[in-house]
C-alpha cells in the first residue's frame, strides 16, 4: 500500500520534503491530484459540501491560519473529515500588521503621500492633522492570541486598552459589553472570528454608538463590518480613518468607493503573510495532518465530535 497523499493548495515547499519522506506523499497544487488526496492544506480555497464530497478518501483538512469560516464544518463532520487550524501561526505578523494600520490611519499616511509632489508646498507642518496615540483608548473586539499581542504593543505606545470578548471571563485589560465598549474607544481593532453571530456586527447602530472621529482597523474578516455603514460613518465623521486588511467582498472591486477615500488604507489580506509567518503556518498545518493520519488526535482539532464514539 502506498503512502497517503497530502495535497498542498499552493504546492509543497521544498524545505518540507525531507520531513515528509516515508510519511506522506506531497501532491498539488494541480486539481487533478486532489481527487486521490487523503489530507489537504487549505489556504484561501473554500471547502464547501460539494468540494469535500468530491474527495472520497479525504480524512483531514488543515487550515494554514486561524479562521475556519471557509470550511463547511457540518459537511466535514458528516463525512468524518477532521478539520484543524494553526492558531499560533499568524499571531505575530497579524498583530504587527494591525498596529501598522492603526499608526498609518492615525498619522494620515495615505493622504500625505500625494503631497510629495514638486509643485506642492514643501512645508506641511502647519497643516498636519495627525493624531498622537499616547493616552488614547484602543478597543479590541476579540481578546485571543492576536488581540493580546496587539494590546501589549498598544500599551507600549502609551494607550489605554479595553476589550470585548464574550468568551473571555478575565483578562489583563478591562472587559466591556458592547454597549459600553463602542463609546469608550478612540480606536477599534477587530480580532473576532466570522460567525453568524458576528457577521456585520459593526453596523450602523454600532457606528452610531461610537465616539466621533474613531479609527477602525480590521485584520480579521471583512464580513464583520457592514461596508455601506462604514462609508456613511466616514462621510459623517464618525470614523476618522480606517485600515482594512480584509474586506467584503474580497478582493475589493477596483471601482469600489473605499479605494477613493484618502482616509482609508486597504491591504490585500496579507497580515499574516510574512516569510516566517507563512513558513510557520504551513509547518504547523503539516504537523496537524501527520498527527491525524497517524491515528493521533491533532492538537488543534476544530470539530472533535468526529472522534466521538457513536452512542
Q: Which residues are catalytic?
A: 221, 250, 269
Cα–Cα distance measured from residue 19 to residue 13, given in angstroms and rounded to the nearest whole number: 11
Q: Is 187:137 a contact under the CB 8 Å cutoff? A: yes
Q: Can you state the percent helix, strand and coil of the chain, rounding each to 5?
A: 35, 15, 45
Backbone phi and psi for residue 104, each to the nearest 5 degrees, phi listed first: -60, -40
Q: Is 91:145 a contact under the CB 8 Å cutoff? A: yes
Is the N-terminal amide bond of 251 cis, ω within 30° of 0? yes
What is the DSSP secondary-structure string of 136-195?
A: PEEEEE--SHHHHHHHHHHHHTT-EEEEE-TT-S--SSEE--HHHHHHH-SEEEE-----
Q: Is 220:191 a contact under the CB 8 Å cutoff? A: yes
Longest CA span, the chain: 77
User: Mutual orientation of helices 275-293 and 91-106 as an angle, nearest 10°?
Assistant: 150
Least Cα distance to 211 among 173, 181, 166 occurs for: 181
Collapsing DSSP to helix, strand or coil, 234 comes out as helix
Amino acid at each position: 500500500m502506498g503512502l497517503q497523499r497530502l495535497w498542498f493548495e499552493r504546492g509543497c515547499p521544498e524545505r518540507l520534503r525531507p520531513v515528509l519522506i516515508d510519511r506522506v506523499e506531497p501532491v498539488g497544487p494541480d486539481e487533478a491530484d486532489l481527487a486521490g488526496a487523503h489530507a489537504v492544506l487549505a489556504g484561501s480555497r473554500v471547502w464547501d459540501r460539494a468540494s469535500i464530497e468530491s474527495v472520497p478518501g479525504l480524512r483531514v483538512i488543515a487550515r494554514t491560519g486561524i479562521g475556519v469560516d471557509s470550511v463547511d464544518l457540518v459537511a466535514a463532520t458528516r463525512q468524518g473529515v477532521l478539520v484543524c487550524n494553526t492558531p499560533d501561526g499568524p499571531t505575530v505578523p497579524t498583530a504587527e500588521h494591525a498596529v501598522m494600520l492603526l499608526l498609518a490611519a492615525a498619522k494620515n499616511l495615505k493622504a500625505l503621500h500625494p503631497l510629495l509632489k514638486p509643485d506642492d508646498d514643501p512645508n506641511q507642518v502647519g497643516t498636519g492633522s495627525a493624531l498622537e496615540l499616547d493616552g488614547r483608548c484602543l478597543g479590541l473586539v476579540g481578546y485571543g492570541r492576536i488581540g493580546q499581542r496587539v494590546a501589549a504593543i498598544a500599551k507600549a505606545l502609551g494607550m489605554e486598552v479595553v476589550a470585548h470578548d464574550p468568551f473571555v471571563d478575565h483578562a489583563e485589560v478591562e472587559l466591556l459589553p458592547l454597549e459600553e465598549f463602542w463609546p469608550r474607544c478612540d480606536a477599534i481593532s477587530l480580532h473576532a472570528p466570522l460567525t453568524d453571530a458576528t457577521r456585520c456586527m459593526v453596523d450602523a447602530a454600532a457606528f452610531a454608538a461610537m465616539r466621533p472621529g474613531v479609527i477602525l482597523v480590521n485584520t480579521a474578516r471583512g464580513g464583520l463590518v457592514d461596508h455601506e455603514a462604514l462609508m456613511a460613518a466616514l462621510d459623517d465623521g464618525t470614523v476618522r480613518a480606517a485600515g482594512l486588511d480584509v474586506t467584503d467582498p474580497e478582493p475589493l472591486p477596483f471601482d469600489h468607493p473605499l479605494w477613493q477615500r484618502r482616509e482609508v488604507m486597504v491591504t490585500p489580506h496579507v497580515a499574516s503573510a510574512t516569510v516566517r509567518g507563512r513558513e510557520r503556518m504551513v509547518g504547523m498545518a503539516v504537523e496537524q495532518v501527520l498527527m491525524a493520519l497517524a491515528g493521533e488526535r491533532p492538537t488543534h482539532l476544530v470539530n472533535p465530535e468526529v472522534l466521538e464514539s457513536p452512542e
